[in-house]
Amino acid sequence: MKPDIKSIDKQKKIASETLLRRYESLKDCTYLDLRLGIGEFKSASSENGTPKEVMDDYEASFGIRAIAGEMPSWGFYGQSIGKKNLTNENVATLLASGIDIAYRRARANAKKKLELKKIFDSLTGVRLAKINVCQDIISADFEIDPRSISLQKVLKTSNDASRQMKNLDPSVQFTATVIKTGITRELFCSSEGAMIDQSLPLTMGIITLSAQKGSACPEICYDYVGDLRGWEVIEGKNCYNVSFHNFAIERTKDTIELAGAEFLKTTIDKVVVVTDPHFNTLLAHEIVGHPTEADRVLKMETAYAGRSWLFQSQEKNQIDNRIASPLVNAFSDPTIMGFGHYKYDAEGTPARPITVIKNGILKSFLNGRETAAILEQEPNGSMRAITPSMVPLVRMTNTFFGPGRKNPESIIKEVDDGYYIVRHKTPSISESRENFRISAQKVYKIENGKLVKLYRGGGIMANSKDFLMSVDAVGNDFKMFPIPDCGKGQPMQVMKVGNGGPTLRSRARLTGY
Amino acid sequence: MIKIEDLQSSVHDALKYLKGRKGVVDAEVFASWNDLTTIRLNYTSDIPCNGIQEPKSLQSYGLGVLVTFKRGNRTEVGFGSVTNDLTRDGVSESLAKAKRNRLHDPDFKTLPDPLKAPTLQNYHDHNVMKISDGDTVDLGWRVLEGSLDTFNAGGYKKSIIIGGDVTILKERMAVKSTRGIDDFDETTSLAANITAMIENRNVKGTGRSLSTHLNTFQPEEAGREAAGSAIRTIGGECLKSGKYPVVFGKQPVADIASNLLIPSLKLTSVNASNTSFLRKLGQNISSRNLNIYDDGSLEGEVGSKKITCEGIPTGRTDLIANGILVGFLANSYFAKKFKNNIYHPIPRSGFRSSSLGRDYKIRAGISPTNVIIEGNNETTKEDLIHQIQDGVYIGRIWYTYPINGLAVGDFTSTIIADSFLIKDGKLCAPLKPNTIRINTNINNVLQNIIGITREKRSTSVWGSGAVIIAPEIAVNEVQLDTIASPIR
């Protein structure tokens, strides 16, 4: 029989008992936690109306974090597991072996750390901030169970969309669609006594297409629908309120139109820009979400994802300082639906809404238990990993600009000369997130309050603080969108997060071809 | 740890089993074991830290089967895999999945056919395969000691950040098919990618060491290089926006190659009409001085493999020769799809690459091995800088993305370290990090190359599996724009 999320039922007691038994027997071990998870998914991909691949499978893994040694230090071990391992006896042996490896590493690390303390004087033992230790069961919440959808239906939906996209116009050179639907279930237990059994559904549809008119450059579109829900996402219960099929057709029509549009030209000076909720989704991701992650704040990501312009030191940082116009609010909230939704994070900390920017003033960072202890803050439950076999990191959750009061139409109507920046494409952000260039799917020229011309290949570039301080209108049209591919960590973990915002008006340089 | 002999016997037994199953036309069995150990470094002199944040590893093994079935007069293809099971039960489970997942894809022709024998043999390091947890942790501390010694010798003790990682990848795989493929491979690689800063001086330096063998791996040197580079760039100056002649150092060349050039030179991008080199095969796309090729058969290089994950011997694939586009990276599927009377791609890039290594859970995609960038008329770094006269030497860039898609070729990136102004043909003042954004287009860069150095270095980029054997390249007319420095 194929393993599925119910296979975890048998492992709960074994996992907890193995962890606690090993914990009691290991010298100088101050903390252990274990995550064991399984996901069952169906997926299908198509190109130009031809089926390419289908998959009906499961994936399981576990990960162990240990803190041990005279100068407490981390050790981690992660491993994929298969059907053969999911018997009681085998899983206990495997978990015990993983615990021993993580513990050995922690001890080896701690020994060396103690030896070198005299040279590296800021070395310290790992401390975890206190949390409410919880036992809980969270069931997957969906309207249409992903497991009830046949592989044939997943393939047909993918293939029909890809075929109709291709047939829409001769300028369409290539279409590809991918649909994935399923459920993951993950156990978290710790030497502190936590036992959390959390299940989440996931359904998403991705399109890629290329359209070319004459000898001009092909226009490429890559976009997606998705949520931590069931198959209803594909049928229309998503951030666009349209079926995946209609979403795919709408994006294809836009791409065909863009393939014949003029390329936007770069400006030297700043211009008035109105950015729509989809564009502000990526903006919130890059200039609010990332720079407020506490591991970046504490310079732990200096070599990878970068630092944060919001924090130099405990004494010198932007907390309680104005970093944006009074109209700007921003939040991070895993308790609401979106790709960043959960009830407990990967350390068992209960999720809660966090006010990041209040009326333009920076209020808090997203953290985990270790970074909270260093920053002397309360843990706010922002640690996640893409699979149990990977180390949890501080990740943004559902992180977004809050809504304002203004009608988005009037925000455009008030502009005599400016640009309307529609839907995000690709970001490039400077090291401490103090400057950004983000491209848009579409840019419209605004003249006397009206959209008069469509451009392709455009976007905006600005210094983050200048842009946030220049916001002079915030719309009442708040929306959340999925971001399926946020990279962080080494090895890279590509995480799903939710971001969003309302329409904003500010000033930035235009970037073009 | 799974022995190579176990993987070999498992693919042998699995293929024997599959051959006898009803409806099976052809089958390929791939089995692998991978271990990726990462020692993540985080030393911050002014913030409590762990030095080594955590020693961690990911391990997996299993097998995957790619099977063609006959249904009526159509051929169907299906893929299935199992984890931690190389037994008959595992093969049977994989076959059941392959049957469940099968479909007719008109672009799928056949499973790969064997080519001539591979040239690389027994090139991995047995000592890396059996390195202990304690010795692995020591490699990370050696980086930190190298960096800190250098900072201390220069009198810098506060506001120090040392980050990055030491990564050890061990891979074993075996592949066998009904088309006659039957081979195995074992690889080891070690990498130290280090970033060091003196934050209150707003300077950053980078250092790296890549090796296939433990005895030539020098993590402490990577630490020293990073710290030394940070110290050298103290007192950086700013630059006005404008078009400049620049010398791209080895890391920027590797970054641009990994994020722009190599993705544009894969047949997957041609398939999706998402490359600026579409329909340009045989045409001039760059300076005549430029050659780019991929070669996985180079002894001692970190990206080298004996065979691909489809069992094809690695070797040289020319991509750009004398400025002319001459080829694309291919796996078997796309090589067969795009083969025609004048273009016959050899599938030397069919790898099942994931962050775990050679992954049995996925079908072979297209990945580079060692990408060599060279010139016909190569010169020294000094000559290149002399040639530029007044411009910028760019030593490290960040977040390099094709901002409007690969087809358009626009890209942007920020200069974050190791960079200098060039005046009167010499390196002079350091460039202040994080104050300049590059806004240009890959086609402009390729056409405006004015010189390439002889000296090269194997370089890898975060999040990319490619190893670029990169020279330094001088390019005219690169748009540089001033941006805000970090608010402090």
pLDDT tens digits for range B110-161? 999 999 899 998 899 999 999 998 999 999 999 999 999 999 999 999 999 9
Query: CA nearest A216: which of B282, B408, B446?
Result: B408
How many angstroms separate the CA atoms of B449 and B442, rounded?
11
Please write the tens of the pLDDT for every residue from A147-157. 999 999 999 99
Residue contact B486–A301, C-beta within 8 A: no
Highest mean pLDDT among A1-5, A27-31, A82-86: A27-31
pLDDT at B485: 60
Q: Is the pLDDT of residue B487 over 50?
A: no
Residue contact A60–B83, C-beta within 8 A: yes
How many angstroms separate the CA atoms of A267 and B335, rounded?
43
**Would you call A509 helix, strand, or coil by DSSP?**
strand
Q: Which of A146, A177, A195 is the last residue of a domain?
A: A195
A401 and A313 both lie in a single domain: yes
Q: Is the pLDDT of residue A179 over 80?
A: yes
Q: Looking at beta carbons, which residues of chain B come within 8 Å of A312?
A: 199, 488
Q: Is the pLDDT of residue A381 over 70?
A: yes
**Domain of A366?**
270-511
pLDDT at A2: 79
Residues 6+ apart with CB under 8 A from B440: B410, B411, B412, B478, B479
Q: Which residue of A has its CA nearest to B135?
A: A108
How many angstroms separate the CA atoms of B427 and A330, rounded?
45
* Nearest beta carbon to residue A463 from set B136, B164, B484: B484
Residue contact A300–B463, C-beta within 8 A: no
A183 and A311 both lie in a single domain: no
Q: Which of A195, A230, A246 is the last residue of a domain?
A: A195
User: Nearest CA to CA, how far is B39 from chain A (Å)?
Assistant: 9
A180 and A316 both lie in a single domain: no
A211 strand-pairing partners: A172, A219
How many angstroms separate the CA atoms of B142 and B221, rounded?
9
A394 and A504 both lie in a single domain: yes
- Give the DSSP letter string of A390-442: S--EE---EEEEPP-SB-HHHHHHT-SEEEEEEEEEEEEE-TTSSEEEEEEEE
Q: Which residue of B has its CA nearest to A291?
A: B486
Q: Is the pLDDT of residue A22 over 90?
A: yes
Contact A472, A487 (CB under 8 A): no
Taking residues A110-139, what's their average pLDDT? 96
Angle between helices B4-19 and B88-100 (to 10 degrees): 50
User: Nearest CA to CA, how far is B314 from chain A (Å)?
Assistant: 26
Structure tokens at B392: 């910028």
User: Nearest CA to CA, how far is A277 from chain B (Å)?
Assistant: 20
Q: What value does the mean pLDDT of chain B take? A: 95
Q: Is the pLDDT of residue B335 over 90?
A: yes
Task: For residue B263, name the pLDDT band (cuts at 50, 70, 90).
Answer: very high
Domain assignment of residue A500, yes or no: yes
Residue contact B274–A210, C-beta within 8 A: yes
**Residue whose pair of structure tokens reads 């002014």 in the numeric block:** B46
Domain assignment of residue A233, yes or no: no
A190 and A275 both lie in a single domain: no
pLDDT at A392: 98
Model pTM greater than 0.90?
A: yes
Distances (CA, A) of A107 to A27, A153, A237, A374: 10, 51, 50, 22
Q: Give every strand in the sheet of A493-501, ordered side by side.
A: A361-362, A354-358, A330-332, A398-401, A493-501, A479-488
Domain assignment of residue A234, yes or no: no
pLDDT at A372: 98
Residue contact B55–A109, C-beta within 8 A: yes
Residue contact A390–B58, C-beta within 8 A: yes
- At residue B241, φ and ψ (nearest 5 deg) are -60, 145
Q: Looking at beta carbons, which residues of chain B come within 8 Å of A83?
A: 82-83, 85, 93
Q: In this structure, are strands B51-71 and A73-81 parallel, antiparallel, or unpaired?
A: parallel
Task: For residue B4, name the pLDDT band (cuts at 50, 70, 90).
Answer: very high
**Would you call B122 helix, strand, or coil by DSSP?**
coil
A188 and A275 both lie in a single domain: no
How many angstroms separate the CA atoms of A436 and A287, rounded?
8
Q: Is the pLDDT of residue B337 over 90?
A: yes
Taking residues A287-303, what's their average pLDDT? 96
User: Counting one residue from A and one from B, how many pairs have CB atoms under 8 Å apart?
Assistant: 297
Structure tokens at B318: 């020319």
How many angstroms separate the CA atoms of B229 and B210, rounded?
18
How many angstroms separate the CA atoms of B318 and B304, rounded?
16
Residue contact A53–B485, C-beta within 8 A: no
Q: Looking at beta carbons, which residues of chain B come within 8 Å of A443?
A: none
Residue contact B199–A390, C-beta within 8 A: no
Residue contact A220–B58, C-beta within 8 A: no
Residue contact A513–B404, C-beta within 8 A: yes
pLDDT at B486: 52
Taking residues A80-85, what's their average pLDDT? 92
What is the end-to-end Cα distance of chain B in Å, rounded? 49
Structure tokens at B488: 């402090």
How many angstroms separate the CA atoms of B311 and B313, rounded?
6
Domain assignment of residue A218, yes or no: no
How many angstroms separate the CA atoms of A167 and A159, rounded?
12
A276 and A185 both lie in a single domain: no
Q: Is the pLDDT of residue A141 over 90?
A: yes
Contact A22, A32 (CB under 8 A): yes
- Please provide the size of chain A in residues: 513
* Nearest beta carbon to residue A491 from set B36, B59, B407: B36
Contact B457, B470 (CB under 8 A): yes
Taking residues A67-76, what's their average pLDDT? 97
Q: What is the CATH number of the domain that holds A154?
A: 3.30.2290.10
Q: Which residue of B has its CA nearest to A56?
A: B101
What percentage of residues in chain B have a pLDDT greater than 90? 94
Residue contact A492–B439, C-beta within 8 A: no
Task: For residue B55, name the pLDDT band (cuts at 50, 70, 90).
Answer: very high
Domain tally, chain A: 2
Q: Which residue of A has its CA nearest to B400?
A: A428
Q: Which residue of B has its CA nearest to A487?
A: B463
Distances (CA, A) of A195 to A134, A136, B65: 7, 7, 37
Q: What value does the mean pLDDT of chain A take? A: 96
Domain with CATH 3.30.2290.10 in chain B: 4-232
Residue contact B414–A431, C-beta within 8 A: yes
How many other β-carbons are positioned within 10 Å of the β-carbon of residue A240? Answer: 16
User: Nearest CA to CA, how far is A336 from chain B (Å)?
Assistant: 30
Mutation target to probe the A interface, by most A beta carbons within 10 A, among B71, B75, B82, B83 is: B83
Residue contact A303–B481, C-beta within 8 A: no
Q: Which residue of B has its CA nearest to A464?
A: B484
Structure tokens at A237: 């219960």
**Residue whose pair of structure tokens reads 């993540």 in the numeric block:** B40
CA dihedral sign of residues B315, B317, B323, B324: positive
Domain assignment of residue A252, yes or no: no
Q: Which residue of B has its CA nearest to A100?
A: B133
**B4-232 fold:** PmbA/TldD fold (3.30.2290)
Residue contact B434–A208, C-beta within 8 A: no
CA dihedral sign of residues A280, A281, A286, A287: positive
B478 strand-pairing partners: B244
pLDDT at B219: 98
A342 and A455 both lie in a single domain: yes
A328 and A459 both lie in a single domain: yes
**Would you call A323 helix, strand, or coil by DSSP?**
coil
pLDDT at B488: 41
Domain assignment of residue A429, yes or no: yes
Q: Is the pLDDT of residue A382 over 50?
A: yes
- Give the DSSP letter string of B208-257: EEEESSGGG--HHHHHHHHHHHHHHT-S-B---SEEEEEEE-HHHHHHHI
Residues 6+ apart with CB under 8 A from A150: none
Beta strands in B45-102 (DSSP E): 51-71, 74-83
Domain assignment of residue A241, yes or no: no
Mutation target to probe the A interface, by most A beta carbons within 10 A, among B85, B269, B399, B415 is: B399
pLDDT at A178: 98
ipTM exceeding cut-off 0.90 for this assembly: yes
- How open is the CA angle A333-A338-A341, to the nearest 5 degrees? 55
Taking residues B465-472, what's their average pLDDT? 92
Q: Which of A195, A219, A246 is the last residue of a domain?
A: A195
Domain assignment of residue A227, yes or no: no
Query: CA nearest A460: which of A491, A436, A444?
Result: A436
Q: Looking at beta carbons, which residues of chain A come within 8 Å of B401?
A: 426-428
pLDDT at A86: 86
Please write the tens of the pLDDT for every residue from B147-204. 999 999 999 999 999 999 999 999 999 999 999 999 999 999 999 999 999 999 999 9
Taking residues A191-220, what's their average pLDDT? 97
Residue contact B82–A82, C-beta within 8 A: yes
The amino acid that residue B103 corresponds to is L
Structure tokens at B140: 């990370």
What percentage of residues in chain A have a pLDDT greater than 70? 100
What percentage of residues in chain A have a pLDDT greater than 90? 95
Q: Is the pLDDT of residue A1 over 90?
A: no
Structure tokens at A465: 């603080």
